[in-house]
Amino acid sequence: MSDTPNTEVRNLVLVLGDQLSAQAATFDDFDREQDAVLMLEVAEEATYVPQHKIRLVLFFSAMRHFRDALQDDGIRVHYATCNAPDNTGYFTDELKRWTGTLQPKRLIVIKPGDHRVETSITDAAATLDLPLDVTEDRHFLCSLDAFRKHADGRKSLVMETFYRQMRREHDYLMDGDDPVGSEWNFDKDNRKSFGKDGPGEIPAPHAFEPDEITRAVIDLVEEHFPDSPGSLDSFDYPVTRDQALQALDDFIEHRLPQFGDYQDAMVTGAPYLFHSRLSCVLNLHLLDPREVIDAAVAAHENGDAPINAVEGFVRQILGWREFVRGIYWLKMPGYADMNEFDADLPMPAFMWTGETDMQCIRESVGQLVETAYAHHIQRLMVLGLFAMLLGVRPYDVHRWHMSMYADAIDWVSLPNVLGMSQYGDGGIMGSKPYAASGNYISRMSDYCSACKYDPKAATGEDACPYTTLYWDFLDRNRDRISQNHRMGFQMKNLERKDAAEMDAIRDRAATLKMRFTAETWLTE
């Protein structure tokens, strides 16, 4: 549809790039005669941190496909492409421009997934003196009010407690009052690693060939955002509701049955293993979490997937995903500034390119450059761990994460990165820092066998930087970490190190910190 309005607008529904669902509450009272949709591609969102090219193509292509689907359904859509000459590039200015032309009586938007974006929309509406409804996002199973009630009166929040409550409330995998399989959690069965011969053939996620719309967006991104990180050589993400449903079926049939067993394994050259790669289509709202959970539960009921796989998968979506969103809105905006260890180093430049001799980072970031994807253990125990041990400012780790992952949206990245992986929140997301040396990576992956460093060594030229920085991390934060009884074992081992070894560790850590942080991609 053209950019020029044809009639006056009663309600203008702003649909953001991660709100691509026709089932959203904003469409409940939508009147095709009087109301219209506004969708804005803005350079602001593509550049406020350097954005992975795959992420840009994913959002712009999915937005354009959604626009077309709405129009096919007879809905009037006003759409600003980011390369249109009159596009100002900012949400606030675009809102001013479009509401000036369309003169709506009211602006309606689903609660954005980013506090920053919500603030700019609220501020713009106030400046324009335009009535604004920010509507509850019912994509999520737990409303923000319900999460607040859950949090009320609790000294600390524990995902497992929240998850069990959600299982009961929504009657997922329940046998009366008991969990199906008599256990709430099958994690003890879910830590297998592959033998010497590796995982063998694993069916990769269904690859979607770019159509005409996606190809045009690929050209646009290459032309307008040439300095963005990442590669578009093999863009194959689902970008429509139909494709998202195909991706779901493909996962349920081919990878769900073994999802549990190898959930934590890491293997060179096998980025997805048995993971679903559904986070993007969930976060863009092309899939509803209920239909994803229903499909997994049905696979178990039909005898196609074991309980350890299905429970493990359901916990990620019904538990973790809802929990982190609850934490985000409970704690924002102050949460973004939390920095338990006062870490202040910048994120090293090689975290965008993979150009380092640390094999675990070279492999994980190399894969990120190609796919904008890494699974949760790579995020937590390779890339996040490295940043925490080095002492990078937690908010910068989050900014880096936003720039490199296709599925990153503020509500989900911030608690996972600043909270869970950096312990920047001092224990809101997790009860202790996920601190480990190179020995953990050596046990859980095949990376170290191809690395020039020795994961066991903390000092000397071939010492693994993780191992050196692990001891340095415990040492420099010993006052805070000693107060956490769950870190007692690790602190006891630190105390066993003699003074000469600690001096050598501190010296080498100081050299590594200087070398690694000489260059970064992030500016203030």
Residue 384 contacts which entry, ligand DLZ, ligand FAD, ligand SF4, none (Cβ below 5-8 A, type-dependent): ligand FAD
Binding marks (x or -) toward ligand FAD, 376..405, rule CB under 6 A? x--xx---x----------------x---x
Q: Computed from CA positions of residues 91, 95, 98, 104, in that sequence, does the dihedral angle turn out positive or negative?
A: positive
List, edge to edge, every strand of the sheet that includes 132-135.
Answer: 77-80, 36-40, 11-14, 106-110, 132-135
Residue 436's nearest CA partner among 479, 385, 472, 394 is 385
Q: Which stretch binds ligand SF4 (CB under 6 A): 29-37, 70-78, 301-309, 462-470?
A: 462-470
User: Does 45 contact ligand DLZ by CB under 6 A?
Assistant: yes
Q: Does 474 bind ligand SF4 (CB under 6 A)?
A: no
509 forms part of the interface with ligand SF4 (CB under 6 A): no
Partner that binds at residue 420, options ligand DLZ, ligand FAD, ligand SF4, none, CB closer than 5 to 8 Å by kind: ligand FAD
Q: Which does 42 bind (CB under 5 to 8 A by kind): ligand FAD, ligand DLZ, ligand SF4, none?
A: ligand DLZ
**CA 165 to chain CA centroid, nearest Å:** 24
- Can residue 42 be called a binding residue for ligand DLZ (CB under 6 A)? yes
Residue 157 sits at the vertex; the CA angle it makes with 185 and 322, to the nearest 5 degrees, is 65
Q: Which two tokens stand for residue 204?
A: 């990769």
Q: Tell me how far apart the alpha carbons of residues 254 and 521 are, in angstroms, rounded to a whole number.
A: 38
Helix (H) / strand (E) element for 40: namely strand 36-40
- State the nearest-atom distance from the C-beta of 144 to ligand DLZ, in Å: 14
- Contact string 341-370 vs ligand SF4 (x = CB under 6 A): -----------------xxx----------
Asked if 105 and 11 count as a contact pair (C-beta separation under 8 A), the reply is: yes
| CA-CA-CA-CA torsion sign (44, 47, 52, 54) | positive
- Does residue 376 sit in helix, strand or coil? helix
When CB distances are held under 5 to 8 angstroms depending on the partner's kind, the choice from ligand SF4, ligand FAD, ligand DLZ, none that residue 278 binds is ligand FAD
The one among 50, 112, 326, 465 contacting ligand DLZ by CB under 6 A: 112
User: In terms of Cα–Cα distance, which of 447, 418, 446, 445 is closest to 434?
Assistant: 418
Residue 234's Cα: distance from chain center in Å?
21
The answer to whether the beta carbons of residues 69 and 241 sit under 8 Å apart is: yes
Q: How many residues bind ligand FAD (CB under 6 A)?
A: 28
Site for ligand SF4 in 192-211 (CB under 6 A): none
Question: Does the protein bind ligand FAD through residue 55 (CB under 6 A)?
Answer: no
Residue 451's binding partner among ligand FAD, ligand DLZ, ligand SF4, none (Cβ under 5 to 8 angstroms by kind) is ligand SF4
Q: Which of 139, 300, 375, 393 forms a contact with ligand FAD (CB under 6 A)?
A: 375
| Cβ burial, residue 182 (10 Å; 0-12/13-18/19+) | exposed
- Segment interacting with ligand FAD (CB under 6 A) among 143-151, 228-236, 277-285, 477-485: 277-285
Q: According to CB under 6 A, which residues from 48 to 67 bind ligand DLZ?
A: 51, 56, 59
Instruction: Tell me the residue number closest to ligand DLZ, measured at CB.
Output: 17
Segment 420 to 439, residues that bind ligand FAD, using CB under 6 A: 420-421
In the complex, least distance from residue 277 CB atom to ligand FAD, rounded to whole angstroms: 4
Question: How many other CB atoms sit within 10 Å of the CB of residue 129?
Answer: 6
Instruction: Using alpha carbons, select from 270, 274, 222 the residue that is nearest to residue 250.
Output: 274
Chain residues in the site for ligand SF4 (CB under 6 A) = 358-360, 438, 441-442, 447-448, 451, 453, 455, 464-466
